[in-house]
Structure 1
Amino acid sequence: MADASHEVTEHTHLLFPRMRHDEEARSIITKEEVALGSTALGERLPYNDYTTIDWLHDLVKDSYRYRALHFRPGLRAKLLTYFDACAGWVAVSIIGILMAFVAVAIDLSVATVGDLKYGYCSGSPWRSKESCCEYAEEEGELCDKYTVWGESYAVRFSIYVGWAVLFGIISSSVTMLSKTALPSVMPQKDYSNGVASPSDPMAVGKSLYMSAGSGIPEIKTILSGFVIPHYLDFKILVLKAIGAVFAVATGMSLGKEGPFIHIAACVGQLVAERFPKYCENGKKMREILTAACAAGLSAAFGAPIGGVLFAYEEIAVYFPRKVLWRTFLCSMVAAMMLRALNPHGTGKVILFETNYGTLYRAEHYAVFVFLGVVGGLWGGTFTNANVRWAKWFRNLHMIKNRPVFEVFCIITVTAALQYPNPVTRAPGDVIIKNLLVNCQKNSDNWVCQNEAREDGRWDYIAWLAYGTLVQLASTTITFGLKVPSGIIIPALVGGALFGRLAGQWVTTISPGIFAMVGAGAFLAGVGRMTISLCVIMFELTGELEYTLPHMIAILVAKWTADALSHESIYDLAQSVLGHPFLDTEHALTRVQHQPSALVESLIPPPATMAELTVEVPPSNTVPRKILTEKLAQLHRRGLMDGGLVLVQKGLLQGYIAEPELDFGLNRLGDGWGEGVEVRVLGDKVAEGEFDLSVFVDRTPITICAKAPMEYAVEIFGKLGLRYLCVTEEGSGRLIGFVIKKRLLIYLDGLKH
């Protein structure tokens, strides 16, 4: 996206096939931020920080482009046609390749920076511990090049905590550079600290740290048809990558897998902008972004199929077969490049490869169900606990409005609690490897050495229990910090710790199996994923034989978590951060619980409708002064993606969006006087008239006011509309005009 303070690069819903001024018609695709007024006229709505795209009209827009391209004669036109047909495949392939390189760079940087907490490589301080030892072996030496900090426990503990705190401060400081005020135009709540609190009524926009968190809630918002300006810029990609390196290196209960999805979306945006087919169409752009998100998870976990299913199940709202195929290719290319680059030195993409060699029996199903229940209980209570913690801790006088200091406090406590425990001292991915190990084939592991003891090993069991409690508690207080972070690895670690602990009392099978199943169950409880998570788990471990135990635990965990809370962690984050999102499945469930929910409940107040309506006389022309006043009212009310409905004798004639009206009056109409007549309907333009009829949508979608609310939810959700006109039952007269945001506000009210 262009880095301009007053420009939101997004596309409106008309192609303007009759427009003679091609360059000017193209420029209308850029969405100008509206001038903000100091007072409200009529009614204001939440979510005005976000503009929306209209999927249906973007579809029509692409059809015009397709016809204009394919019906041209000549060899050059034929070549352009072929390139257009394969542009999507080329774009997603490039995205997959670039994402693999970015992922490897981040992985190697995390390993190098994170290992500084333990020691350094003599002569090669930029090497991680693993690569340092490999380098020594190549030179024919013992692995004595890696030097551990200090000789006493106290020194090593202090340096570990000190480095972790320093990395956290760096990560949070980098994140602060991404703070942006969205172009809001209404008084609303401030979510800059992660919880809602009243803000100054004259405030413009809400603050958003664009490189903080996983980015998945924001990506879901974007893919559902909303716009977050500059969220996928190259600057945000760089800040997210740097912040993620230092955040993961701290050893806190966070992972890089969530941020990888945001980074992949940034890569997808930057690549797609080079293709006119996608940069000029919001709907087509989101097809590429969906594929990019799959590549992000594929590069993070080496799970190409799981990445595709994750994009389908958890992120995308529009996923036809064409998008599925391109997503499949993008994820596959990312995994292929990851394997070729071989960042882990194994030559494989499997991250936590295991080989248990033993089969589970029928009596083990009870343990798998138990793990699912516990994972669901934690997942269901985690969301409420995290919100309660945020409301209390982030409103303390010392913490409020000091996000870097908050990170400092959390890291200090987390590092001090993690280091004493030999199980949790390592990075998250290493912890999972150690807990999933099969001790029959690896007796050198610290976990296996303790499990081989015959003295009761209660100290070892205590370490597992202590690690489980600390991991779950630290994940609860860490999620929401102003650093790049994800929930996937922390949930897997917590589940693996608990599963390994539970496996100590089941001696008929390797406890690593329960660690593996428990990891999936705890992540299912938090994220409410099912099919994609099951595939990711066997891609991560290579244990296809244990697909059924994963299915049992994951499904039980989801049922249990849903019984406690219907919102996953990503749904909660969207709600807390105030991001709009239309989930038709949940929306229909809420509507069905209402005794009588009709579309007429969405109709704006009369004052609002008066501002949005233009009465067109039989001449089909309107004085420019009236349209200018209406445009100013839209600006002051802050309807960034609103518009005007045109009626004649109460009957709907068309709709003109605010961007088109603004462009027509202030760009094409520059030089025309205020008294000129503007033609908004009809095809014949008289001399001295200014024509805006090319900008009018003459076929707006309508719905009866007495229609069930389910109709509106399905129409907005399935068709991806930006607006819907409401007509009176029987007469067909226009009585209301509903934008997508109004439906979201209505649905939000049903939650309480």
Structure 2
Amino acid sequence: GLAFSGLTPLSCPQEGPMIHSGAVIAAGISQGRSTSLKRDFKIFEYFRRDTEKRDFVSAGAAAGASAGVCSWVRGVLFSLEEGASFWNQFLTWRIFFASMISTFTLNSVLSVYHGNAWDLSSPGLINFGRFDNEKMCYTIQEIPIFIFMGVVGGILGALFNALNYWLTMFRIRYIHRPCLQVVEAMLVAAVTATVGFVMIYCSRDCQPIQGSTVAYPLQLFCADGEYNSMATAFFNTPEKSVVNLFHDPPGSYNPMTLGMFTLMYFFLACWTYGLTVSAGVFIPSLLIGAAWGRLFGISLSYLTKGSIWADPGKYALMGAAAQLGGIVRMTLSLTVIMMEATGNVTYGFPIMLVLMTAKIVGDYFVEGLYDMHIQLQSVPFLHWEAPVTSHSLTAREVMSTPVTCLRRIERVGTVVDILSDTSSN
């Protein structure tokens, strides 16, 4: 499903489905049997316990995250921050081992694919290129600007989550039949392709190919020797589009092009997330943020009369981090993956600052996208903190009389009768 969905015009990154696949595989391995095939292989019976299955799922999610970005650190931190509901030292090395093996296997396969079976240093599936420290330095006066971008990312992320919540509620109520789900996926793909062509035709943002860093320029509706920057942003893979927004020189994009692209891609990505296709939200969030971040950088450069520190690529990076943090509300793992994907440790502090600001602002309005969908799917998940409404409750307010008691050793029939007659369980 992931391989074929990547060929559609839909915004379908691989990280989310990879995490899901890793968790599913780990859960099946821990049980040593298949409910789909209705076969019991009589292996791993020792792990057929809820605690072991939970740990295996956490390790599988970490392995999937590591394979999605070719980074074992990303897998461990994702499982720590989002994937695991329980943590101890024993689980740490399990997840670390699974992430390392996953990363090594991916490197091996990519090395064979690129024609060098002995080279195990492939950059992975997500690599946004290195930023030049000399050209991309930041100063103390830019810290408030980064914080402001975090606020914008938190607000836009909250809007994205709120719109997706109402859209998901509509899907649960009215688009629950498989045939309707297939029709919806086809409709979204058709609308995405149509909107893309219309935007390319209307924008006519033509840039000279000479001196451009775009690997595969698209000439659509432009003269010879020129390429269409809107087409480059829309019809490249999302990863390549993010790289272009990060590293293209100033003047490569018209501000109107970036504004139109941000607006349209924001709503299309919101509509796409939740379809019955293998899709996630990681790369689309980065692409949306990189687009409005670069637009912000262009505006800032214009207001400061072309100051050398107002580089559009730098603000595209900050915007990408702000948008992603405002939607998924992760901080630690996203800081690490943004530093790894760009090969720049210098921006660790501003990226962390932007992510923290986006999370605080976004949490003020609505919860994160992952937590929201956990509730929408009615998954029994115990949160770290009790609800705010429970802080003033007393035991008397939640108990009833007479008290139902069980002996230390009780008959099964008695337990069944008590559970059947009690409505509080």
SS at match of 1:580: coil
**What is the Cα deviation at residue 391 of structure 1?**
4.5
Q: 1:226-256 CA deviation, whole Å, 9 max, x = no partner?
A: xxxxxxxxxxxxxxxxx22222321313322
Q: Which residue of 549, 562, 572 corresponds with 2:372?
A: 572
Asked whether the equivalents of residues 133 and 346 of structure 2 are also in contact (C-alpha less than 8 Å), the reply is no
Q: Does 1:597 align with 2:394?
A: yes
Q: Does 1:292 align with 2:60?
A: yes
Q: Which residue of 2 aligns with 1:416?
A: 194
1:339–1:582 CA distance, 2 compared to 1 (3 A): same
Q: 1:15-65 CA deviation, whole Å, 9 max, x = no partner?
A: xxxxxxxxxxxxxxxxxxxxxxxxxxxxxxxxxxxxxxxxxxxxxxxxxxx
Q: Which runs of 5+ in 2 are unaligned?
A: 33-42, 115-120, 201-229, 302-306
Q: Does 1:258 align with 2:16?
A: yes
**What is the Cα deviation at residue 546 of structure 1?**
0.7
In structure 1, give the amino acid aligned to 2:122: G
Q: Which residue of 2 aligns with 1:353?
A: 129
**What is the Cα deviation at residue 426 of structure 1?**
1.3
In structure 1, give the amino acid aligned to 2:370: Y
Q: Which residue of 239, 259, 263 corresponds with 1:465?
A: 259
TM-score of the superposition, structure 2-length normalised?
0.77
Tell me which structure has the larger Cα radius of gyration.
Answer: 1
SS at match of 2:408: strand
Equivalent residues, number: 364
Q: Distance in 2 between matches of 1:399 and 1:287?
A: 34
1:276–1:655 CA distance, 2 compared to 1 (3 A): farther
Q: Which residue of 243, 253, 276 corresponds with 1:433?
A: 243
Q: Does 1:362 align with 2:172?
A: no
Q: Which residue of 2 aligns with 1:373?
A: 151
SS at match of 2:262: helix
The structure where helix makes up a greater share of residues is 2
Q: Does 1:498 align with 2:278?
A: no
Q: Which residue of 2 aligns with 1:283?
A: 51
Asked whether the equivalents of residues 297 and 312 of structure 2 are also in contact (C-alpha less than 8 Å), the reply is yes
In structure 2, give the amino acid aligned to 1:312: L
**What is the Cα deviation at residue 357 of structure 1?**
2.4
In structure 2, give the amino acid aligned to 1:341: V
1:280–1:394 CA distance, 2 compared to 1 (3 A): closer
SS at match of 1:255: coil
Q: 1:160-179 CA deviation, whole Å, 9 max, x = no partner?
A: xxxxxxxxxxxxxxxxxxxx
SS at match of 1:342: helix
Q: Which residue of 2 aligns with 1:337?
A: 105
In structure 2, give the amino acid aligned to 1:462: M
Asked whether the equivalents of residues 495 and 520 of structure 1 are also in contact (C-alpha less than 8 Å), the reply is yes
1:395–1:738 CA distance, 2 compared to 1 (3 A): closer
Q: Which residue of 1 aligns with 2:220?
A: none
Q: Name which structure has the greater RCO, CA cutoff 8 Å, separation 6+.
A: 2
CA RMSD of aligned residues (A): 3.1
Q: Distance in 2 between matches of 1:534 and 1:277?
A: 39
Q: Distance in 2 between matches of 1:597 and 1:400?
A: 46
In structure 1, give the amino acid aligned to 2:142: H
Q: Does 1:547 align with 2:348?
A: yes
SS at match of 1:584: coil
Q: 1:592-614 CA deviation, whole Å, 9 max, x = no partner?
A: 1xx333276155x98xx9xxx7x
Asked whether the equivalents of residues 492 and 523 of structure 1 are also in contact (C-alpha less than 8 Å), the reply is yes
Q: Distance in 2 between matches of 1:541 and 1:657?
A: 60
In structure 2, give the amino acid aligned to 1:596: L
Asked whether the equivalents of residues 156 and 326 of structure 2 are also in contact (C-alpha less than 8 Å), the reply is yes
Q: Which residue of 311, 318, 321 corresponds with 2:89?
A: 321
SS at match of 1:249: coil
In structure 2, give the amino acid aligned to 1:513: K
Q: Distance in 2 between matches of 1:309 and 1:331?
A: 10
Q: Which residue of 2 aligns with 1:389?
A: 167
**What is the Cα deviation at residue 314 of structure 1?**
0.8
Asked whether the equivalents of residues 251 and 428 of structure 1 are also in contact (C-alpha less than 8 Å), the reply is no
Q: Which runs of 5+ in 1 are unaligned?
A: 1-242, 438-446, 614-644, 647-651, 663-722, 726-735, 743-752
Q: Which residue of 1 aligns with 2:214?
A: none
Greater CA drift, 465-474 or 413-422: 413-422
The structure where strand makes up a greater share of residues is 1
Q: Distance in 2 between matches of 1:278 and 1:653?
A: 27
In structure 2, give the amino acid aligned to 1:534: T
Q: Which residue of 484, 504, 513 corresponds with 2:278?
A: 484
1:530–1:276 CA distance, 2 compared to 1 (3 A): same
TM-score of the superposition, structure 1-length normalised?
0.45
Asked whether the equivalents of residues 302 and 540 of structure 1 are also in contact (C-alpha less than 8 Å), the reply is no
In structure 2, give the amino acid aligned to 1:540: A
Q: Does 1:653 align with 2:408?
A: yes
Q: 1:490-548 CA deviation, whole Å, 9 max, x = no partner?
A: 11111111111112133423322221221121111111101111111112221111101
Asked whether the equivalents of residues 62 and 83 of structure 2 are also in contact (C-alpha less than 8 Å), the reply is no
Q: 1:360-407 CA deviation, whole Å, 9 max, x = no partner?
A: 111221221122111100111222212233445776799997111111
Q: 1:545-572 CA deviation, whole Å, 9 max, x = no partner?
A: 110110110001001101111x211111
Asked whether the equivalents of residues 383 and 569 of structure 1 are also in contact (C-alpha less than 8 Å), the reply is yes
Asked whether the equivalents of residues 356 and 513 of structure 1 are also in contact (C-alpha less than 8 Å), the reply is no
1:347–1:655 CA distance, 2 compared to 1 (3 A): same
Q: Does 1:521 align with 2:289?
A: no
1:399–1:588 CA distance, 2 compared to 1 (3 A): closer
1:580–1:656 CA distance, 2 compared to 1 (3 A): farther
In structure 2, give the amino acid aligned to 1:589: V
In structure 1, give the amino acid aligned to 2:390: V
